[in-house]
Amino acid sequence: MELFTKALLLCVALALSNAAPQPPPGAAGRGRTRGLCENHRDRVRGTSPDGVPMIGAYMPQCDEDGQYRPQQCHGSTGYCWCVNRRGQEKPGTKTPPGTPSVECPQHDQRLKTPCEHHQDSVQTTTADGLPLAGVYVPRCDADGQYEPQQCHPSTGYCWCVDRRGQKKQETETPPGTPSVECPKHTDERPKTRCENHRDGLGTRPPGAMPAVGAFVPQCDPEGQYTPKQCHGSTGFCWCVDSRGQEKAGTKTPPGSSVQCADHGIPDRCSGIEFDAITPDEKGNTFFFKGGHIWKGFRGPALHASDFFKDMDEEHNIGRVDAAFRMHNPENPNAHDHVFFFLDDKVFSYYNQTLEAGYPKPIQEVFPGVPSQLDAAVECPKEECRTDSVLFFKGQDVHIFDIPTKTVKTKNWPHLPRCTSAVRWLEHYYCFNGNNFTRFHPVSGEVTGAYPKDARNYFMRCANFGHGMGYRTPKCSEMKLDAITTDDAGKSYLFAGPIYMRLDTKRDGLHAFPITRLWKEVRGGVDAVFSYTDKTYIIQGNQVYIYKGGAQYTLVEGYPKTLKEELGIEGRVDAAFVCPNENLVHVIQGQKLIDVDLTTTPRTIARDVPLPLSDIDAALCKTEGIYLFKGGQFYKYESPMILAAGRIAPLSQKITSEMMGCLD
């Protein structure tokens, strides 16, 4: 036995000696911060208190800078694999002993993120290499960004953070209690110029103290420079403009005071005229005024360059004359790019970044289109016969044919002078002052009572509005009343007195009163389904049937009772029709009733129990049936499987991608 033990220890020692040579615990290059790999290695106890190697211990291999080597090997097992710069194994790279190992590429040389800087700056071991108890080390994802939820391993507390690693208020939970569901960072706005200035352009870890004597700019809650700035070390104060530039003659020494006027930031709720309006490739709508921008229909004005890089006076685009999002699916290099126009130049942006080679003369990109434009808006071929762009200048409209690059000019004197224009939810709007007019993109015809005040429709302002005060809910708090897709492919979600189009994500997702499309339906609905180009709306014991088309028209003689129309009675929870079927599947409580829509009077084809109850809404698509209940849904492959099922499938969470809610 003693001989076996000695032999085993000798094998382990030889295996460890074959690994790359490692500096002793606690050692690091002079004058640099210890690397993540070194901290990891120092936490591993490779030997017993007596100095004998511990069998099976994996010791990470670090390079001379204290970072993980691209290839890692386990000295005891002989397995090798590739890792990323965070030491995380790359899937599919592990090889067993005795086989050729995968050639591991060098780590990419991107700059460390704030989370990685923060992580590397935390001292997790003593000088002797022993672990330090009670130290919080932030968690970074594979891209080096802060994970939305952070936890302290010693205290057990967890909390949510923003993309900068800052704790969100009222999200911290103690150990042993359910943690708050932390949303992804995708909906957070990017850092403003002031925040980038204050945070050292992302090179200083969050929470780290600035250098002694350094000036730290003061930003307001929206991330903008406060009008008055003061140097904490010298005591001097001065006024700045909205770009953070000092105003001449305003600096005062310590002990003196200076009164700084608020920045001239526009307020769109005061009734202003926009320079341009355009959606981007993600469906976010941007409103432009001078060097300021509003993202979406609520929130304050921000600097345009906070969203669109290089959009400032230094790059000769401190403002815009017109803007539109290109619709050209045949040319993926231009489709969904956002084009800005200023004087005789055009700028092309994608993913909020200026495209190489721009700006260019307008005539080079859009031959025949004049300079000094007032507005522009895209028009796809489904609505303008060919993929086109409408350019407005005075009362003239220059219609640019994208495939042929030719221009036709029309005069629409019945429209006001369009200082901005936008296509939104398949409709076209011309803005002048704080009003807008809806028009037909081919004829310019205006139908209805216009102009209307934009503050009632395109922004959220006090004492204005039309959207029933709707607020986007969290996905976990979703409560649907109905959902359907008609024969034209239009998908609608119903919740309370509002509806939302789900198939228009390219223009964003927006809520409207149900009466906007279905004028006779007041209040909420119980169920909705589509069949043969008609929409059936069930409300209480009434059934409304609407003809499809450009507008929904109530069929003469309706509404009728449920008994008259479908041959059933009682409250309906949900209803759906599957593609190419003639049965409407009605859910009432914990039973499924199939009604044949080809017979008059209607006949019940099936009445079976369900393993689920309290269903809110249902939808049938080619890939299966979705039953919605609160913030979750259950999926079945077919009506037959739904009818035959006796055990409910596992529930899945509703996501923002499905419903436009907040994750």
Phi-psi region of 115 (alpha: psi -120 to 50; beta: other; left: phi over 0): alpha
Section 375-382 average pLDDT: 94
Asked if 402 and 516 sit in the same domain, the reply is: no
Asked if 303 and 438 sit in the same domain, the reply is: yes
pLDDT at 452 over 70: yes
Cα distance between residue 493 and residue 500, in whole Å: 5
pLDDT at 239 over 60: yes
Residue 405 maps to a domain: yes
pLDDT in tens, 338-375: 999 999 999 999 988 889 899 999 999 999 999 999 99
The CATH number for 297's domain is 2.110.10.10
- pLDDT at position 466 is 58
Please, which residues have CB within 8 angstroms of residue 130's CB and are 6 or more apart in sequence? Answer: none
CB 591 within 8 Å of CB 455: no
- pLDDT at position 243 is 75
Asked if 442 and 479 sit in the same domain, the reply is: no
Asked if 47 and 14 sit in the same domain, the reply is: yes
Query: pLDDT class for 660, splitting at 50, 70, 90?
Result: confident
Query: pLDDT class for 594, splitting at 50, 70, 90?
Result: very high
Section 603-611 average pLDDT: 93
- The last residue of a domain, from among 57, 82, 107: 82
- pLDDT at position 442 is 94
Residue 121 maps to a domain: no
- Which residues on neighbouring strands pair with residue 394, listed in sequence order? none
Query: pLDDT class for 107, splitting at 50, 70, 90?
Result: confident
Average per-residue pLDDT for the chain: 83
Section 7-11 average pLDDT: 42
Is omega for the bond preceding 217 within 30 degrees of 0, making it cis? no
- pLDDT at position 207 is 47
Cα distance between residue 50 and residue 9, in whole Å: 13
- pLDDT at position 210 is 52
Cα distance between residue 636 and residue 354, in whole Å: 46
How many residues appear in the chain?
A: 663
Residue whose C-alpha is closest to residue 588's, from 561, 613, 623: 613
Asked if 382 and 416 sit in the same domain, the reply is: yes
Section 272-292 average pLDDT: 90
123 vs 152, which has greater pLDDT? 152
Residue 512 maps to a domain: yes
Query: pLDDT class for 203, splitting at 50, 70, 90?
Result: very low
Least confident range from 194-203, 580-589, 614-623: namely 194-203
Query: pLDDT class for 121, splitting at 50, 70, 90?
Result: confident
Asked if 299 and 406 sit in the same domain, the reply is: yes
Section 288-297 average pLDDT: 87
- The last residue of a domain, from among 402, 427, 456: 456
Domain that holds residue 432: 268-456
Asked if 272 and 315 sit in the same domain, the reply is: yes
Going by DSSP bridges, is the β-strand pair 237-239/276-279 parallel, antiparallel, or unpaired?
unpaired
Residue 465 maps to a domain: no
Is omega for the bond preceding 21 within 30 degrees of 0, making it cis? no
Mark 128-150 as b/e (b = at least 16 C-beta within 10 Å).
Answer: ebeeeeeeebbebeeebbbbbbb
The rounded radius of gyration (Å) of the Cα atoms in the chain is 32
- pLDDT at position 494 is 95
Cα distance between residue 335 and residue 387, in whole Å: 11
- pLDDT at position 19 is 41
The CATH number for 28's domain is 4.10.800.10
Residue 307: phi and psi, rounded to 5, are -110, -50
| Maximum pairwise Cα distance, the chain | 103
Residue 118 maps to a domain: no
Section 304-311 average pLDDT: 77
Residue that is written with structure tokens 């903008």 in the block: 224
- pLDDT at position 312 is 61
pLDDT at 172 over 50: yes
Please, which residues have CB within 8 angstroms of residue 551's CB and are 6 or more apart in sequence? Answer: 517
549 vs 584, which has greater pLDDT? 584
Residue that is written with structure tokens 């050692």 in the block: 27
Please, which residues have CB within 8 angstroms of residue 546's CB and are 6 or more apart in sequence? Answer: 518, 534, 535, 537, 552, 553, 554, 555
pLDDT in tens, 608-628: 999 999 999 999 999 999 999
pLDDT in tens, 36-82: 788 788 777 555 555 554 667 788 999 888 888 999 998 888 889 88
Least confident range from 257-261, 376-380, 565-569: namely 257-261
Sheet holding 617-621, edge to edge: 617-621, 624-629, 632-636, 652-653
Mark 61-76 as b/e (b = at least 16 C-beta within 10 Å).
Answer: bbeeebbbbbbbbbbb
Asked if 570 and 627 sit in the same domain, the reply is: yes
- pLDDT at position 507 is 66
Asked if 328 and 376 sit in the same domain, the reply is: yes
Opening angle at CA 613, ends 511 and 640, nearest 5? 95
Cα distance between residue 599 and residue 393, in whole Å: 58
- pLDDT at position 21 is 42
120 vs 623, which has greater pLDDT? 623
Tokens standing for residue 586: 């009605």
Asked if 410 and 533 sit in the same domain, the reply is: no
Residue whose C-alpha is closest to residue 165's, from 124, 133, 117, 212: 117
431-439 LR contacts (CB < 8 Å, sep 24+): 431/273, 431/274, 431/277, 431/375, 432/273, 433/271, 433/273, 434/271, 434/272, 434/273, 439/412, 439/415
Asked if 396 and 541 sit in the same domain, the reply is: no
Q: What are the helix (H) ranges across 46-199?
A: 114-121, 193-198
Residue 87 maps to a domain: no
- pLDDT at position 291 is 83
Residue 337 maps to a domain: yes
CB 514 within 8 Å of CB 499: yes
Return the percentage of the chain with pLDDT > 90, whole number: 40
| Amino acid letter, residue 527 | A
DSSP-based three-state secondary structure for 296: coil
Q: What is the pTM of this model?
A: 0.52
pLDDT in tens, 523-575: 899 999 999 999 999 999 999 999 987 678 999 999 999 999 999 999 999 99
Domain count, the chain: 3
CB 635 within 8 Å of CB 652: yes
Residue 191 maps to a domain: no
Asked if 508 and 539 sit in the same domain, the reply is: yes
Neighbouring C-beta atoms of residue 540, cutoff 10 Å: 13
pLDDT in tens, 494-504: 998 889 888 87
- The last residue of a domain, from among 393, 425, 456: 456
